Structure formats: C-alpha cells, structure tokens
Structure 1
Amino acid sequence: MWVADLMYDNERRLANLDVSDVQLEWNGNRFVSGSGSCAIVWADDHGSSKIPKQIGDWFAPFGAELQIDCVIGSGVFAERVPMGRFMIESVPEATESEMLWQERIIHPGETFRLDLKDGLQRIIRDRFAFPTASRSTSVWDEIQAVTGLPVVRNVPDQTIATPVTHDEDKDKATSKLFDRLGAWPMLSPSGVLMARPKAWPDPVDELGEGVVSAPRTLTADKTYNQVVVEGKNQSGEPIYGVRFVEEGFLRARNTDGSKSPFGVATYGYSSEYLTAQDQVDAYADELLPRVSRIRGVVREVTERFNPLREVGDVLRFKDGLVRVLTVAHSDATTRMTVEVPDE
C-alpha cells in the first residue's frame, strides 16, 4: 500500500494521503535519477477541493513535495518504508466533481494526477548568475555551497588544491565535484544529498525466488576505448591526458597502426580541478577501464514488488554479482536493469 505526506518548506501540511496508480523509477545514468507519477484521491467532510489552480495552492508545482512511502504488513505488523522525496513537477490532469448542496457548491470527491521529479531538479533550474569562484578547499563543503542541500558525507572528503571558477550550470559543477570523490550524486529516500560510489561496494542482497524474468542483452552503446581528459594548469592553459585500449577486442588500433575492427570511440572529460599533468594522466588511467566496460552486458530483471531495491546496489545473482543501474516500481512488480561485470 502506498501512502504520501504533502511537504512544503520541510513542514508537513497533509499526512497519510490516499495515493493510487503510483509509478516510481530511478535511473543512475541521469543527474535527476528519480521521477514518477501518482494520482491523489481526495474527499473530506467539508466537500472542499484540493485541485491546484494557482501559485500557493497546496499541490501546486511551485515548491510542494510529496514524501512517498510504502506500507508493508502482515497481520498486526506493519512497517512504513521510505521510497523518496519528490518535487511536484506538474499537474497534467484533474477531474473535479461538483454538486449543489444547501445553496453552495461542494466537491464530493476528486482525483488528480501529479508528475514528480527528485530534488536534484532544483539544481538544474538554479544556474550560476555569473562566474563564481569556489569557496572552500573541501569538496564536500563546496558541494553543499553549490547545491544548498543538506548532505551526508558517506565517502571520504578530498581537497581542492587550487581555487576554480564555476562558469557552467550547477548540475555540471556538482557532477565534477562528485567526480573528485569517485562518486555520483544521489538523494536518500528523505531527500538528503549523498554519494553513490563508482567502485562496486559489497553485495547487499540476493536475487532469488522472486525473479520473474531476466533476459540478457549486449550493447556497444556508451562503451568507449579511448579517453581524453582535459584540465588547466596554473597559468590557465589546457593540459591533456590521453589513454586508449591497446589490445583485445576493444583495441583502438591494430599493432600496425591501422584501424581496429571496433574503431575508435572517444570519451571526453574536462575539469578545472585537474591542474597538473600527473593529475590528468592519473584520471585518464582511472577512467579508461571504467568507460570501456560499463554497460557492456546488462540484464533486464523483473521480480515481485520489492521496495528495498536502490540504484547502485550490488546483488548476488545466479553465478555472479550484478549492480543495479535502473529501478522502476509498480503495484505488483519491480523492474531493474542490472550491469554484469566483465571478466
């Protein structure tokens, strides 16, 4: 059973809302990974309407949020599992019922849908008004300054050795700061900003009897065999680190210098936080094995509804490990795309 609280400015305006047709999904390949939709079913003793019509209405898409949770129970036992804090992005459709009662219009019941995005959408909306210098030598401190979000420092901090100027969108600046931590940004189910490490953590569960299907797919999309990393030295001049796969099926070129069967697929990366040649070279060395293997083999897993699945989880499955790339929940099932590591 789904339940939601309406939040505004971190205050709960309505608790235990009746929500239906809940569709939630998370995609680890996107900056705003969480999105979804749901229907609000509203009826009260006063015959009031809650369909938003203007700025300031409670469900209007101007700062209102839904904390969506799942209630799981058996007999007298029940547990409320937090699923996510979502901004109300739009109200795409609403059905309003009216009737005349004792010379006044009342609303005996109504249903309206809400489209939802997680809180990182605010960072995309909030661009730098002008080039802005970094404020701190701590990466975590700078993340908090750029995003304005509460953070949980769940990976070790790093140092910003040389001050930089943010002259791009805040989501891009935030992603580069998390790169320095070896992670991607993610939000906890309560809306707190955390790091999702790029290195595979220890497995947290096993995919077992609940799996309905798990077909295997293989794609070359977003698989690269060359990386070009760009930084800037102390004088502001560009510096580059280039690395490429030298052997195997993903080699960039043959030993005689001719093109390989796969060809060259180049992944480019730039960051003002890389200020010396050894830094761009080291990051190119780190980046190449990651982008030359990621999403090489994936499986589309469907299992019985499991609200505990999260993007980034490592799971035991059959004869190996897999890592969750996307998660989508409906009332009966949980669908996941999982990455299979290359041998």
Structure 2
Amino acid sequence: MDVVHGTNTVLENLPLTAWAFKGDLGADIKTSGTATCVYIPPDGEPFAPKGADGILSPYRARLILKMKVTAGAFSETVLLGWGRVMKTPGARDTIDPVLRANRVTSSVVPIVWDGLERNIQRSGFYFPTPAGTGAWDELARITGLPVTRNVPDTAIPKNTVWEAKQGGRLDAVQQIASLLGGRAAINPAGQLTILPNALPRDPILILKTGPDGTITDLESDIDIDNVYNEVVGLYEVGEDRRPVYSIARVDAGPLSVSGDFGLSTRYHASDLVTDQESADKAARSVLEESIGSQTYKVQVQCITHPLVENNDYVEVQGVDRTVRGRVIAYELSDSALMTLVLEVRMVLA
C-alpha cells in the first residue's frame, strides 16, 4: 500500500498484516475496506495519527491499494484501487526507553477506508447549477477526475439543473451515468468510468468446480417477493376519464397462475393509455418486463482472483449446472480465498 497526500506519495509499500477489499455494485461508494498496519518507525518518532497530524491521518491520507501475487517463480503486483482513509480506530504507538530516551518502537494503525466516490459525495454544489450539454464532458467537469470514455457519449436534456444538497454532486454523476446506460464508478487507476447495464455476449472469466477448478463453495439465494404472474391494468382515458381495464397473465410454465406458484398480482396505471388496445399492450408489456427482469443471487467462494471487479460477467460451472451472471459484490482479503456474489437471470420457461 502506498500513502498519498495531495499529489505527493509520502510512503511506499507500507505492509498490511490484515486487510479486506470489498466491492458493491449497488452502493453509492462502490469500493471500501479495512486494514491493519503494524509499523516500526525507523527514527523512533510517533506514527499513529493524532488529529490532522500523521501520515495515515484521515484528514489527508489517500491510499493506493496493491496486491502481490506469487506462484512459484512468478510474482506480479496488481493494482486494486484507490481509497480515502475515513477512520483509524484504536491507533496506538508503543513507547519504550531506547538509549536513555523514550522512542516509539512499534505502531499499530487500524484503517477504515472508502473508495474515491466519497470525495465526490462530500463535495456539493454551492447553488443550483445548470448542467452542460455532453455527458462525458459534464462528468469530467463536475468531478475533476480523468474519465475513461468507454461508452458512446450522449446529450444531457436541456434545462437540467443539479441540486445544491447533501450528496448532490454524486447524485448528478449517477444521473449522467444512467443517461450513458450504466453506473458510474472509479476504476483501479483512479479514473471515472461507466459500468454498462448491458451485459457482454461472452463472460470474461470462467470459474469451475472439481479437481481442476478454483471454486470451493457455491450457494444460491432465491427471493420471490417481487415476482408477479399477473398484471391488472387500471386506466382512465379520454376527457371524461372513462375507466379501461386489462388483465395479462402467465398461463403456462412454472409461473402459471394455475400452477404451484399460485397467483401474484401487480397493478399498473399509465396516462399513456388511450384505448383498449393500448391498455392490453401496456399490461402485457409490464408482465413481460416483470418476468424478464427476474434474477437470483449465486454466491461463490473461490481461490482469489485479484482482477475481478464490479459488473464483470462471469460463468460458473458447477457440478450439476452452469450459470452466467454479473458480479454485484465481491470481497478479497489476506486469505487465499475470495467471495463473489453474482446476479443471475432466472430462466422461467
């Protein structure tokens, strides 16, 4: 781990005795983690942060987090990402007499850090701020970060104004990301990029069970709370607000309204419906969208792969099935194993 103050690297290759690096695609702050640093100051001076003083003080310290991968004669250092120190709970210096003087002989500094999205979130707008016209240029302007233009640019709607509120700058960034078809995140190089909602055709990583695989544990988590097999459309059309009704149902397969799943109804209303035909189309469209968007979670424990990131498309080859899904959460640590959570589209045929 390297420690940076402003644009200056003040300490390189600081070892960590325990650490965890977490990614969460659905969180405002996409990466976070903890670490414990045990350090012997070469000059015997205090090292544990005290207020704004100290190399690891949350008031100034930014982290470049790295992982060294070794296998036999092979060795490579992988950049995991950047972080901002948020807390140093229980940091302490051990002081002993050395050559008739009290010196710090060791320091223990626990660290809690967040990804650099936290800087954007903490820096709000001073007043309602009119947006620019191009999405990528606006991302660069309001964050001050370098951007990786990995998806096509798009226009920001006219008369868009960013709110002056707590967290308003990060909200604006995610609104722009939505226009670009994804979610904004800061990549390991410290650049702002877009994690696309659209999945690629092929997975970038294949994990396997068995003697030649890297998977050690595989779990599934299915939740039917928001699964619907019937949509009831309740619409009002014309100047006299005449009621129009439409019902769309699943009549075959595991979600059939007459099957073991039972009946689960969703209600829908829309001002865009103008007659019975458009009402039927609207109800059917909502039903198909509800079925097509159903997902479940697969949790995978496997040998650590340091290049895995949020939104990666991964294939998991289990004993009795093969699934593909988007990485929505992951955790690496000083253990040899890591945990992935995949969002897998449910096949309801």
TM over 0.5: yes
Q: How does 1:109-124 map to 2 (within 5 A)?
A: 109-124=106-121
Give the conservation status (yes or no) of the 8 Å contact 1:205–1:316: yes
Q: Quote the residue 1:158 is aligned against.
A: 154
Superposed CA deviations along residues 160-200 of structure 1, whole A, max 9, x for unmatched, are 24131111511211111000000101111122111000001
Runs of 5+ unmatched residues, structure 2: 232-245, 269-283
- Equivalent residue, structure 1, for 2:203: 203
Residue in structure 1 matching 2:9, options 4, 9, 12: 12
Structure 1 counterpart of 2:207, one-letter code: L
Who is 2:342 aligned against?
A: 338
In the TM superposition, 1:245-260 aligns within 5 A as 246-248=248-250
User: Structure 1 pair 130/247, CA: closer, same or farther in 2 (3 Å)?
Assistant: farther
What TM-score results when the alignment is normalised by the length of structure 1? 0.78
Distance 1:153 1:70 in 2: 27
> Are 2:321 and 1:324 equivalent residues in the alignment?
no
Moved >4 Å (runs of 4+): 221-226, 285-295
In structure 2, what is the Cα distance between the partners aligned to 1:294 and 1:124? 30
CA–CA distance in structure 2, aligned partners of residues 289 and 47 of structure 1? 68
Q: Do the aligned residues in 1 keep the contact of 2:294 with 2:346 (CA within 8 Å)?
A: no
Using the TM superposition, give the Cα deviation of residue 205 of structure 1 relative to its aligned residue in structure 2, in angstroms: 1.2
> Would you say how many aligned residue pairs link Structure 1 and Structure 2?
296
Q: Distance in 2 between matches of 1:190 and 1:205?
A: 21
Secondary structure (helix, strand or coil) at the match of 2:189 reads coil
Partner deviation per Cα, 1:47-93 (whole Å, 9 max, x = no partner): 12211102142211123111111111234431000111110011112
Alignment correspondent of 1:264: 266
**Equivalent residues of 2:183, 2:197 under 8 A apart:** yes
d(CA) in 1 for partners of 2:286 and 2:100?
70
Unaligned segments of structure 1, at least 5 residues: 227-243, 267-284
TM-fit CA distance, 1:30: 0.6
Amino-acid identity (%)? 23
Alignment of 1:253-292 (within 5 A): 261-264=263-266
1: CA distance, partners of 2:247 / 2:43:
69
TM score, norm. by length of structure 2: 0.77
Residues 17 and 72 from structure 1, CA distance in 2 versus in 1: closer, same or farther, beyond 3 angstroms?
Answer: same
For 2:309, the equivalent position in structure 1 comes to 310
For the pair 1:216 / 2:220, whether they are aligned, the reply is yes
The one-letter code matched in structure 2 to 1:327 is Y
**Structure-to-structure mapping, 1:22-41, within 5 angstroms:** 22-41=19-38
Range with greater deviation from structure 2 (214-223 or 321-330): 214-223
- Structure 1 residue 38 displacement after superposition: 0.2
Q: CA deviation at 1:222?
A: 6.7
1:223–1:265: 8 Å Cα contact kept in structure 2?
no
SS at match of 2:174: helix
Cα distance, 1:301–1:75 mapped onto 2, change above 3 Å: closer
Q: CA RMSD in A?
A: 2.8
- Equivalence for 1:170: 169
Alignment-mate amino acid for residue 136 of structure 2: W
Distance 1:106 1:175, change over 3 A: same
Q: Tell me what 1:83 maps to.
A: 80
